[in-house]
């Protein structure tokens, strides 16, 4: 019997430390189906490590994590992962379509070849990649590649989509396109999204909650609760001024227009 609940991620008393260095501790967090969570914080605060914990690649040093009621498992088809954009080596023989097929092959071997082709076509269409899916990966732009990486991450129809700074080095237009694809999927399939980013503005409207990591501490709540001068000054232990200007955040570390991280 399959028991389904509305809780997709459940963290209780979670701590991650490397040696003496505690990245975060006492983290209690429940994320429901279809929730979109932005994970923010300065370099080295533990954002990628947080994703690695969810991916089952890094063990908590204290506390518990359950994903859909079970301990995390590497390679679980429940999880889709979108990495940071990085260029592809010029001699890479793969085409766009092959990248998506890799996302399907690993989990659904035995799928008849006709079905596989149809599923790849559907995914290509879903991310608007029809025009370039047959080109070699090395000839694609950063924005085109990221669309294909979104499709690859969606191939197993995951309940949880983990995004590790997928907008990095994309122009504003492609940031919107890629963030929009993730958000559309969340809306259409009730997919839970954990979205690591340095820049909250492109996803400010999408985020239900923010997990902000800094100085071995964290803040977790709605953007309106977390992205305030009082909340972030408390987190950093020094004054931070956050302004809301035309629907954008200005001044906060974690918004594009900030003037640098405050010194602790």
Ligand X SMILES: Nc1ncnc2c1ncn2[C@@H]1O[C@H](COP(=O)(O)OP(=O)(O)OP(=O)(O)O)[C@@H](O)[C@H]1O
Binding site for ligand X (CB under 6 A): 18, 23, 41, 43-49
What's the full length of the chain, in residues?
264
Least Cβ distance, residue 6 to ligand X (angstroms):
28
- H-helix or E-strand containing 15? strand 7-18
Q: Which is nearer to ligand X, 23 or 252 (CB)?
A: 23
- Report the phi/psi class of residue 190: left, alpha or beta, with left for phi > 0 and alpha for psi in -120 to 50: left
Cross-strand partners of 209: 37
Q: Which is nearer to ligand X, 168 or 204 (CB)?
A: 168
Q: Which is nearer to ligand X, 45 or 119 (CB)?
A: 45
Least Cβ distance, residue 47 to ligand X (angstroms):
4
d(CA 94, CA 99): 7
Least Cβ distance, residue 137 to ligand X (angstroms):
24
Least Cβ distance, residue 84 to ligand X (angstroms):
8
Would you state the structure tokens that stand for residue 43, as one six-digit string?
A: 């370099």
Q: Which is nearer to ligand X, 18 or 131 (CB)?
A: 18
Pure H helices in the chain:
47-54, 96-105, 113-126, 142-154, 172-189, 223-226, 229-236
Q: Which is nearer to ligand X, 120 or 167 (CB)?
A: 167
Least Cβ distance, residue 162 to ligand X (angstroms):
13
Q: Which is nearer to ligand X, 41 or 202 (CB)?
A: 41
Would you state the structure tokens that stand for residue 24, as one six-digit string?
A: 């975060």
Least Cβ distance, residue 192 to ligand X (angstroms):
20
Would you state the structure tokens that stand for residue 245, as one six-digit string?
A: 């200007």
With H, G, I as helix, E, B as strand and everything else as coil, classify residue 175.
Answer: helix
Residues 6+ apart with CB under 8 A from 190: 33, 34
């Amino acid at each position: 019997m399959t028991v389904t609940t509305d809780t997709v991620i459940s963290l209780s008393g979670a701590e991650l430390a490397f040696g003496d260095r505690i990245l975060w501790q006492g983290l209690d967090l429940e994320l429901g189906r279809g929730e979109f969570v932005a994970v923010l914080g300065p370099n080295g605060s533990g954002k990628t490590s947080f994703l690695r914990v969810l991916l089952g690649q890094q063990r908590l040093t204290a506390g518990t994590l359950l994903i859909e009621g079970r301990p995390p498992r590497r390679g679980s088809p429940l999880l889709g992962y979108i990495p940071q954009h990085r260029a592809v080596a010029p001699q890479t023989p793969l085409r766009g379509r092959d990248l998506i097929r890799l996302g399907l092959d690993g989990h659904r071997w035995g799928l008849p070849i006709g079905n596989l082709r149809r599923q790849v076509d559907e995914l290509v269409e879903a991310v608007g990649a029809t025009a370039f899916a047959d080109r070699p990966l090395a000839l694609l732009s950063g924005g085109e590649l990221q669309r294909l990486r979104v499709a690859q991450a969606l191939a197993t129809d995951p309940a949880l989509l983990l995004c590790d700074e997928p907008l990095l080095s994309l122009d504003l237009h492609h940031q919107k396109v890629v963030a929009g694809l993730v958000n559309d999927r969340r809306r259409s399939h009730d997919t839970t999204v954990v979205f690591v980013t340095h820049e909250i503005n492109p996803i400010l409207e999408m985020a239900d909650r923010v997990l902000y990591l800094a100085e071995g501490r964290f803040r977790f709540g709605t953007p309106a609760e977390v992205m305030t001068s009082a909340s972030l000054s408390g987190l950093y232990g020094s004054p931070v001024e956050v302004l809301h200007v035309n629907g954008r955040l200005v001044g906060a570390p974690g918004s594009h227009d900030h003037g640098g991280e405050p010194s602790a």
